[in-house]
Structure 1
């Protein structure tokens, strides 16, 4: 376009993507005034006026008010600040839309009622403090009077959902499902029964003990990751690398056995891993791999928390690893 050329209101409307009526309205409102008029009184616009009309159209698409647009065009505010403000508005709108999307998907999946829709809307807008109370109340009831080692339930309750300030639709959906479960008396009873039957006696009680939990979640966790990586890489249980990792595992584990690394300790550890392998292969009971009892109780809680927190990890099948590590322990030569 020629900077000195003047264009009719029809041309200005066409070039700016607005209707003639809208261009006339902005002119009457003093937002973008005509550059001049013809002898017969028809409005004319130069290229600068048309560029301002294009900007106004963009800002109006962002729901910017006419007063804000006037201040911008008159130099009362700058475009950077205005666009930053509107980016924040758009982000808030995006958050609301994701929340609505999560509610609608959950309702469609569940065939929800009006009352359920109202509940789900309250869930997604729940303050952080109320979310914390909901989770805390759940673990208080599940753990009350539960015959498991001291500190075990307190450790479990630290694995809790932390909904991000800008959650995805999947995270909101997971929170809706989890919050619904936490309020469900049958779910609370099922989790309580799983923890009682799985960790109140036998090997489960040992696993839930404070020393064993410390080992599992500190030094033992890092060493276990190395062992799993070696197994996935196809290393033999008797290979020098695996034997070296095994030595470190035994050294850490010895702290649970009066600090003594002995052949008897290694035999006991190997027997424990073989016993765990046997439990995991059972088709019934809380230790069964992928068993519905775990998947529908504590496992469901943990999987939803992982989605909400954005750190869901691929599950590792422990079955081939357990017997393999038992062989690594039995073939190690240290200890007396």
Structure 2
């Protein structure tokens, strides 16, 4: 290309793919000025103006506004700053689109009445504090008079309900359904009655005691270690795998009062796989369950992402293999009392079904 040649607006249009009217518009706006205007009023552009027009066109396709482009070309903002600000705006637009999509899908699926549409729109726009208040009100009501330890109640509540910063449509739909249920008097009554029936059994006091919560938490800590080892690619028959298997055997021996042995570890290996089958079945059943508390748990797990994570990453098969490896004839099995306690490590996994 000849750097000193000037091009007519029609030639510039063919080279850039812009319309003649668009080039005139950018010129009139002072975004890209022609190198020369003839006595007859024809606008002529040099190669630098053509390159600038292509750059402006690209920014416009990325939805950059004229004011932002002008500030960039005048040197009042850097390209990185412009991209960062524009990305933030796009993220906010995407969040609003996801929220609207969730509302519309829920409306279409449930044949929602007009007054409920307003409520749904408000639900997806709730702040974290508003969600916390709704969650607290629900639990304060359904747990009133429930004879369980505060520690067990905390385990059931499982902390704050947090909607991710960038929730999926599935999570938003789950939140709309859950928020509606949390405010429904009949649903609260059904959950409250279900919990009272569950915890009125003779052995409920022992199972919901603070001591039993400690047992749940210690077992959960061992599962966390197994999960971390599995995700790190640690072989189940490695020294770490055998150590974790020993911790699990000691923990279960404390509960069952069965001495540690190779036979016991082989039984535990089979039991763990049985637990995995029941766990996966419970996740599938929860998604379609009509039981109010089970439905509540399923929706919460969808919102915070633990349903998918648990199904994909729970280390049952890895732990079973580690127990089998530690029960091999070549591997000495330490008595329960000689197995050291599981040190605090990571967070205790969330328990949806105490």
- Same fold? TM cut 0.5: yes
Q: SS of the counterpart of 1:56?
A: helix
Q: Report the counterpart of residue 198 of structure 1 in structure 2.
A: 198
The offset of 1:294, in angstroms, is 6.9
Residue 311 (structure 2) aligns with: 314
| Aligned-pair CA distance for 1:155 | 2.9
Greater relative contact order (CA < 8 Å, ≥ 6 in sequence) = 2
Which protein shows a greater Rg?
1
Q: Report the number of matched residues.
A: 291
Question: Secondary structure of 2:311's match?
Answer: coil
In the other structure, the counterpart of 1:301 is 296
Equivalent residue number for residue 248 of structure 1: 250
Whether 1:83 and 2:80 are equivalent positions in the alignment is no
Deviations 1:167-205 (A, max 9, x none): 222221111111111111121112112211112223444
SS in 2 for 1:118: helix
Match in the other structure for 1:267: none
Matched with 1:133 is 133
List per-residue Cα deviations over 1:226-279 (Å, max 9, x = no partner): 9999xxxxxxxxxx999956650255438xxxxxx588xxxxxx9xxx9xx9xx
RMSD of equivalent CA atoms: 3.9
Indicate conservation of the 8 Å contact 2:219/2:248, yes or no: no
Distance 1:147 1:191 in 2: 15
SS in 1 for 2:59: helix
Q: Which moved more, 1:151-160 or 1:188-197?
A: 151-160
Aligned to 2:164: 164
Q: Quick one: distance in 1 between partners of 2:81 and 2:226?
A: 54
User: The residue matched to 1:44 in structure 2 has which SS?
Assistant: strand
1:140-169 per-residue CA deviation (whole Å, 9 max, x = no partner) reads 110111234454333322344211222222
Q: Mark the runs of 5 or more structure 2 residues left unpaired by the alignment.
A: 230-241, 260-266, 317-322, 328-334, 338-354
Contact 2:16 2:50 in 1 (8 A): yes
Corresponding residue number in structure 1 for 2:219: 220
**Mapped contact 1:223–1:248 kept (Cα < 8 A):** no
- TM-aligned CA distance change 1:191 to 1:90, over 3 Å: same
Unaligned runs of 5+ in 1: 230-239, 255-260, 264-269, 282-286, 319-324
> In the alignment, is the contact (CA less than 8 A) between 1:178 and 1:301 conserved in 2?
yes
Query: 1:34–1:43: 8 Å Cα contact kept in structure 2?
Result: yes
Q: Aligned partners of 1:101 and 1:144: how far apart in 2?
A: 37
User: SS of the residue aligned with 1:197?
Assistant: helix
Separation in 2, partners of 1:3, 1:134: 67
| Corresponding residue for residue 146 of structure 2 | 146
Alignment of 1:256-271 (within 5 A): none
Instruction: Give the Å deviation of 1:91.
Output: 1.0
